[in-house]
A and B are shown apart, each in its own frame.
Chain A
Amino acid sequence: MYEVRFHGRGGQGAVTAASILAIAAFKDGYDVQSFPHFGVERRGAPVMAFTRLDDKKIEIKTQVYSPDCVIVLDTNLLATVDVCKGIKKGGTIILNSVKDPADFADMAKRIGGGRIATVDATSIALRHGLGSKTAPIVNTAILGAYAKVVGNVSLESIVDTVRAEAPAKKEENAKAVEDAYNEVKEEVFG
């Protein structure tokens, strides 16, 4: 079983991203589950969402405590939210950031070694007219980075799902996924 945790702010689409990843993984033949953190959602407040995928039927219905991968839509959250919490040793952290993975090497150390990936999903989103400067829509682009870095869900399925699920600008969203796939940087820290 592979578990993913998304961190974002209310309104940034973390919950949608988690469900798109689940639907794409389902297309690739996995059994899947995706759910929001069961809280009261408010615009701008930190939110979490989760995706589980497995070759076998997923029976467990607990919350996710030790994800294999964490995706951070907004690095401003790092100041207030412990995004590293519970990540498995050797896990993956994907951040929406202009910086290099090396700039977040300490996060990999905190989980006992792991992979850090960064992608400037904000610029990619704006390049394709997704959202505004103050509220860019980065939740689709970041999944392109996931496809490349984690590799257990195909780019093709993510692109297809994004195209099908996006309420508007379907092609732009699909392009953003592809750009993030090509532009993501990653590095493993021991």
Chain B
Amino acid sequence: MAKIVLKGNGAVALAIKMARVDVVAAYPITPSTFIPEKISEYVANGEMDAEFIPVESEHSAMSACIGASAAGLRAATATSSQGLELMHEMLFIASGMRLPIVMGVANRALSAPINIWCDHQDTISARDTGWIQFYAENNQEAFDLMLIAFRVAEDERVLLPAMVGLDAFILTHTFEPVDVPEQREVDDFLPPYRPKHAYLDPERPITQGSFVYPEYYMEFKYGQWIAMESARDVIDEVFADFASRFGRKYEKVSTFMCDDAEIVLITMGSLSGTVRHVVRELRNEGIKVGVAKITVFRPFPHKEIIRAVKNAKVVGVLEKNVSFGFGGAVYGEVLATVHGEGLDTKVLDFIVGLGGRDVRVEDVKEVVKICSDALQGKAVDKINWINVDKEAVKNA
């Protein structure tokens, strides 16, 4: 193993190469463009034995991955924001056809207004597409989770596509040390993909993507449901195997100082490190606060969330997305989970960092302040927009 300094996009491209992906079809979009660029360079120099298809749109990128995967090969792509949205139709088709395609997604805001910076609206809007979703906190996680994603997706108990989110610029363009295993070690962890269910072979003709009447449709969907449920255990197994080989331990929800915390902050992605940084500081001031980071958002980790928040009185969800007319999507799911369990924990939502608005130390402190107010029984809003110029909007 060697530690090298890579940007997040470089880590994803390297993981795709080391996973020995057979077919990569991808389209440029800021800030994931570097991934297809790097892969075309690998292929041009013979460093990667793959077909690279420089398609004319993301719709075709995902479609070509579907074709390659349906033909029985390992296929991958990368995109972001508008690109993911243009793929949206094909995302459902990839999962419905049970094709274990893996995709790196640079998490970026959606237009309008057009903006190239980080938030999670793109992948959150794809949460119902039937894809497994991982979110990386740093470049090491982006690299590792890509490899893990292939193993989980291709597992016969699962056979679902998987996406790994990494935050636009904050990870994609940031250099950090990444521990890169030997190719041999990756090969042992991730053997070649040998599908039994889907491949196009004249020797054994099968029909994929057929027209299904109401008599069967729900059974297909229930099959997907079961697959996603099975993914829970498979993910834990793969995490454990990964840890035993590479020494890095992943959890669907990783907790930090949650045991005795009165306030637990829930985070996803690169924000988690900043929040832990602040929590450490606040602990010194005697504030009992902890952090639970969601690494796997689909399947949603109900059990793990409950474990993280069971002792808390207030849960604050910090999230970079919004479902207009409701609140943050993560908030909704945490709320349902916590109250579904019969806990009377207060759950508050904090919309932060949309369109690249930096989430600063003082913003996290403000979140904790509002949670502390709630803890003391003061009336607070359920949905809170942090670091927004509300006056400017009123006056417009």
Question: Residues of A with Cβ closer than 8 Å to B?
Answer: 19, 22-23, 26, 31-36, 38, 40, 58-63, 65
Interchain CA distance A63-B271 in the complex, whole Å: 12
24 pairs of residues in contact across A and B, judged by CB atoms under 8 Å: A19-B175, A23-B5, A26-B5, A26-B177, A32-B176, A34-B174, A34-B175, A35-B169, A35-B170, A35-B173, A35-B174, A38-B173, A40-B116, A59-B273, A59-B274, A59-B277, A60-B273, A60-B277, A61-B170, A61-B271, A61-B274, A62-B358, A62-B360, A63-B360
User: Is B276 an interface residue, CB under 8 A from the partner?
Assistant: yes
Chain B residues whose C-beta falls within 8 Å of the C-beta of A58 in the assembled complex: 273
Among B5, B169, B270, B273, max chain A CB count under 10 A is at B5
Residues from chain B with a CB closer than 8 A to the CB of A62 are: 274, 358-361
In the complex, A140→B266 CA distance in Å?
Answer: 42
A59 CA to B273 CA, complexed, in Å: 4
Q: A22-B5, A23-B5, A62-B359 are in contact. Are A35 and B175 (CB under 8 A)?
A: yes
Residues of B near any A CB (own CB < 8 A) = 3, 5, 116-117, 167, 169-170, 173-177, 270-271, 273-274, 276-277, 356, 358-361
Residues of A within 8 A of B360 (CB): 62-63, 65
Q: Are A38 and B169 in contact (CB under 8 A)?
A: yes
Contacts of A38 in B (CB 8 A): 117, 169-170, 173, 356
A32 to B176, CA, bound (A): 6
Contact pick for B276, options A34, A36, A59, CB 8 Å: A59
Contact between chains at B273 and A32 (CB < 8 Å): no
A33-B5 Cα distance, complex, nearest whole Å: 9
Q: Which residues of A contact B173 (CB under 8 A)?
A: 35-36, 38
A121 to B5, CA, bound (A): 26
Residue among A33, A59, A60 making CB contact with B175, cutoff 8 Å: A33
Of chain A, the residue at the smallest CB distance from B359 is A62
Given A38-B117, A38-B169, the answer on whether A33 and B176 have CB atoms closer than 8 Å is yes
A23 to chain B: closest residue by CB:
B5
Give CA–CA (A40, B31) in the complex, Å.
Answer: 11
- Known contacts A31-B177, A40-B116; A60 and B274 CB within 8 A of each other: yes
* A residues less than 8 Å from B271 (CB atoms): 61
Closest to A18 in B: B175
Q: Which residue of A lies closest to B364 (CB)?
A: A62
Q: Which residues of A contact B175 (CB under 8 A)?
A: 19, 22-23, 32-35
